């Protein structure tokens, strides 16, 4: 987060002549589940096609629409791919507030959505007020985090977060997390699953987010015996490719030592 700090604060350093930031949310929630209750768990957003590919295409179409209707407009789309303060811009646009788990929460939608931005050189008025914080005294996300990564309301120690440990971390997972991963091998939804606002989450309607039946049907045994060929077949266009085959196998080895995950 310290890298490119100035770019995070000043959109003109990302897109020359920028005058407006358009913030967008895109639902990825799904009611579909892995069939084997004992199988290693993927985060919901990783079931389908890589969201970077899906949303970037939509941002390009939105820019084309703006150009067709408002003349020569220059812009650039971002989806978790550059030093952009995504949650801060979304909050300023009135799309939600920052919850105690650090995620953007929307009163009517919950938090199972991707945040993206279109930074353009067309000046727009923002008539929205920042959303009110509705978390109140609720601490379900803090209490549920098995690695105690939420060290204070709205403050997450990234080095303890299961998403970081299973995706971004390049070294071996530290032994201090033994038995605390709750069977997660790519990402983590625990703090979102317990959030009361996600009771309102609705099934996404994006065809590209529909999971491969073979992925959902993979048994616990098949997961632990996965080879590189099957990995490529299942995750060819998936965000899981970020951790690579070696990373996924590392995660599987780690949780296999502690089958009860308690």
Angstrom CA distances, 223 to 211, 227, 231, 245, stand at 16, 9, 10, 12
Reference 95, options 5, 184, 27; nearest CA is 27
Nearest residue to 114 via CA among 36, 156, 57, 68: 57
Q: Give the position of tokens 């999971």.
A: 211
Q: Considering 10, 36, 80, 157, which one is annotated as catalytic? A: 80
Environment class of 252 (CB within 10 Å of its CB; exposed 0-12, middle 13-18, buried 19+): middle
Per the CB < 8 A criterion, the answer to whether 25 and 55 are in contact is no
- The dihedral through the CA atoms of 89, 132, 106, 1 has a sign that is positive
Kindly report the number of other CB atoms within 10 A of residue 26's CB atom.
17
> Distance between CA atoms of 76 and 118, rounded to whole angstroms?
6
Q: Strand 184-186 relative to strand 113-120: parallel, antiparallel, unpaired?
A: unpaired
Sheet strand arrangement including 75-78? 20-27, 113-120, 75-78
Radius of gyration of the chain (CA): 19
Whether 157 is catalytic is no
Residues serving a catalytic function are 80
């Amino acid at each position: 987060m310290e890298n490119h700090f100035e770019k995070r604060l000043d959109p003109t350093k990302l897109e020359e002549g920028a005058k407006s930031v358009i913030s967008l949310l895109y639902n990825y929630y799904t009611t579909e589940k892995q069939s084997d209750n004992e199988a290693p768990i993927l985060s919901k957003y990783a079931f389908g096609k890589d969201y970077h590919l899906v949303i970037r295409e939509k941002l390009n179409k939105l820019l084309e629409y703006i150009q067709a209707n408002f003349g020569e407009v220059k812009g650039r789309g971002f989806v978790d791919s550059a030093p952009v303060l995504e949650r801060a811009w979304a909050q300023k646009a009135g799309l939600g507030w920052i919850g105690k788990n650090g995620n953007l929460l929307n009163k009517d939608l919950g938090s199972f959505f991707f945040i993206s931005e279109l930074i353009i050189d067309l000046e727009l008025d923002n008539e929205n007020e920042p959303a009110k914080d509705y978390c109140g005294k609720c601490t379900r996300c803090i209490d549920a985090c098995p690695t105690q990564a939420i060290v204070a309301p709205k403050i997450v120690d990234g080095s303890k977060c299961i998403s970081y440990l299973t995706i971004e971390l390049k070294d071996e997972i530290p032994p201090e997390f033994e038995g605390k991963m709750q069977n997660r091998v790519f990402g983590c939804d625990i703090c979102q699953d317990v959030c009361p606002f996600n009771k309102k989450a609705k099934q996404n309607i994006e065809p590209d987010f529909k999971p491969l039946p073979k992925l959902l049907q993979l048994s616990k045994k098949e997961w632990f015996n996965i080879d590189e060929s099957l990995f490529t077949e299942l995750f060819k266009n998936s965000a899981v490719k970020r951790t690579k085959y070696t990373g996924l196998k590392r995660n599987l080895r780690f949780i296999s030592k502690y089958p009860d995950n308690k």
